[in-house]
Amino acid sequence: MLELHHISKVFNVHGRAIFALKNVSCQFREKELYVVAGPNGSGKTTLLRIAAFNLLPSSGEIFLDGVYINPQNSLLRIQLRSSLISFSPQHPCLPLWLTGTEAARFIPNIRKDLFEYYCTVLKAEDVLKRPLGELSMGTRKKANHAFVLSRVAKYYIFDEPFAFLDDTSQECLREIFFDLTGKMSATVIVSTPHNLMQSSTENVIFLENGECVKGPHEI
């Protein structure tokens, strides 16, 4: 289980302290699907980046399976990102001059068979043979999802995964998330500003102005 205790994040913007998160506490239990919802600017991306050990909190504590994770231990954070967590950022940086097949060779811990499988399931076979820069934004988004999904992990974290996807692709991705928590026994954490996933699970964390106004397992 991944636990975030009293997490705050402050950014310095032109000499002013801006709180992106204010004393947020939540738990992400194994084999469950979680939705982090809220309007733009509510702190969703910041929360997911901290949960993925991609961003340091300003204060608060993180526990993984009951063990305290020292945020200053850079080596441990890198090891956790490599072995346990697969994170899809809202705006992924893809090598646009390479095909998906070529790019997969340079991404650590990618399983080629799973990458090809998810490209097929998401109806994005062009990713395998065409430079990513020649593809539409929606297809590039599918390519990034395929990269993330083809890493075997315990926690899959997706920031705004439905952006640029058509209705059919969104439904396909939802089914993949259910398969991950069921067949793969993984935990899936998804952020969204709207109602695309909120009816799919009781585990919904609502953020507003950097604060958790509702959560399933508040600490």
In a domain, 110, yes or no: yes
**Residue 71 has what pLDDT?**
81
In a domain, 131, yes or no: yes
Mean pLDDT of the chain: 89
**Residue 80 has what pLDDT?**
84
Average pLDDT over residues 104-127: 91
Is a pLDDT exceeding 90 seen at residue 148?
A: yes
Read off the pLDDT band of 213 (50, 70, 90): confident
**Residue 22 has what pLDDT?**
95
Sign of the C-alpha dihedral computed for residues 11, 15, 18 and 22 taken in this order = positive
In a domain, 23, yes or no: yes
Q: Which residues contact 213 (CB under 8 A, 6 or more apart)?
A: 206, 207
Place of tokens 């095909």: 99
Q: Which CATH number characterizes residue 88's domain?
A: 3.40.50.300
The sheet carrying 2-13 orders its strands as 16-28, 2-13, 59-64, 67-69
What percentage of the chain reaches a pLDDT higher than 90? 60
How many structural domains does the chain have? 1
**Residue 195 has what pLDDT?**
65
- Predicted confidence (pLDDT) per residue in 58-71, tens digit: 999 999 888 899 88
In a domain, 151, yes or no: yes
In a domain, 219, yes or no: no
Expressed as residue numbers, the domain containing 28 is 2-214
